[in-house]
């Protein structure tokens, strides 16, 4: 029941959100491998769905251009720089809450990663990779059907860097809380392909990082 003051007026019971911002510089301690859903793959899927049940009947399979796949797996911003999905950090911090016994549902409402820009193809919010360049790598994987496949993807070698701007509800977390959650992402969860917290496997040990610096914005 809402409280009322001496004159019978309803008192405010819901405080304004106490949102603070912190900036963290992170450095990769393991390779970072990305696999963005390319524009080419999206168009091929769209054409197949538009064609309906006869879409693949008797159709010759085009040869795979691995260089095109490599380029398509990158997240390229509207300004031309490369990055990774900001949601990867946020999802990692929420996942890390399981280890420390904090409610993930509350973390979803309390932690946010500020985007440096957006993917030029699909608008994915991105964090800019500020140090390091991707190299071409090929890895054997399995499709959803279990069939083996070769994927060409960009890999940043250890030493890649990014600056994270994280907004958090200061009534739920302190700056040190946020830093420790992020540290757990870097040590236990990971980001990108082959991360330890992958839903489909135990990962390849990729996407791990350390915190180089932190400061309140």
Give how far Cα 132 sits from Cα of 129, 160, 202, Å: 7, 5, 26
Specify the 3-state DSSP secondary structure of 66. Answer: helix
CA-nearest of 197, 28, 206 to 127 is 28
Residue 38 clears pLDDT 50, i.e. is over it:
no
d(CA 82, CA 76): 5
Q: What's the pLDDT score for residue 143?
A: 76
d(CA 189, CA 187): 6
d(CA 30, CA 154): 14
pLDDT confidence tier of residue 141, bands split at 50, 70 and 90: confident
Structure token pair of residue 10:
């309803």
What domains lie within the chain, and their CATH numbers?
19-36+75-135+157-216 (3.30.70)
d(CA 191, CA 88): 6
Specify the 3-state DSSP secondary structure of 110. Answer: coil
β-bridge partners, 118: 125
Whole-structure pTM value = 0.84
Residue 39 clears pLDDT 50, i.e. is over it:
no
């Amino acid at each position: 029941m809402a409280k009322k003051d001496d004159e019978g007026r309803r008192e405010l019971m819901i405080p304004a959100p106490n949102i603070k911002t912190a900036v963290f510089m992170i450095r990769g301690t393991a390779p970072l491998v990305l696999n963005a859903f390319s524009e080419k793959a999206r168009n091929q899927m769209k054409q197949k769905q538009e064609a309906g049940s006869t879409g693949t009947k008797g159709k010759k399979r085009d040869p795979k251009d691995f260089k095109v796949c490599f380029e398509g797996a990158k997240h390229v911003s509207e300004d031309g720089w490369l990055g990774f999905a900001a949601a990867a950090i946020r999802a990692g911090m929420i996942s890390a809450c399981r280890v420390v016994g904090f409610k993930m549902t509350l973390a979803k409402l309390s932690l946010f990663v500020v985007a440096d820009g957006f993917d030029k193809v699909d608008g994915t919010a991105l964090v800019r990779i500020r140090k390091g360049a991707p190299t071409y790598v090929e890895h054997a994987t399995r499709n959803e059907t279990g069939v083996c496949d070769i994927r060409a993807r960009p890999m940043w070698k250890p030493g890649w860097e990014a600056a994270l701007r994280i907004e958090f509800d200061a009534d739920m977390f302190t700056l040190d809380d946020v830093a420790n959650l992020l540290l757990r992402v870097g040590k236990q969860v990971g980001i990108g392909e082959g991360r330890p917290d992958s839903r489909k496997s135990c990962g390849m040990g990729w996407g791990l990082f350390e915190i180089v610096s932190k400061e309140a914005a």
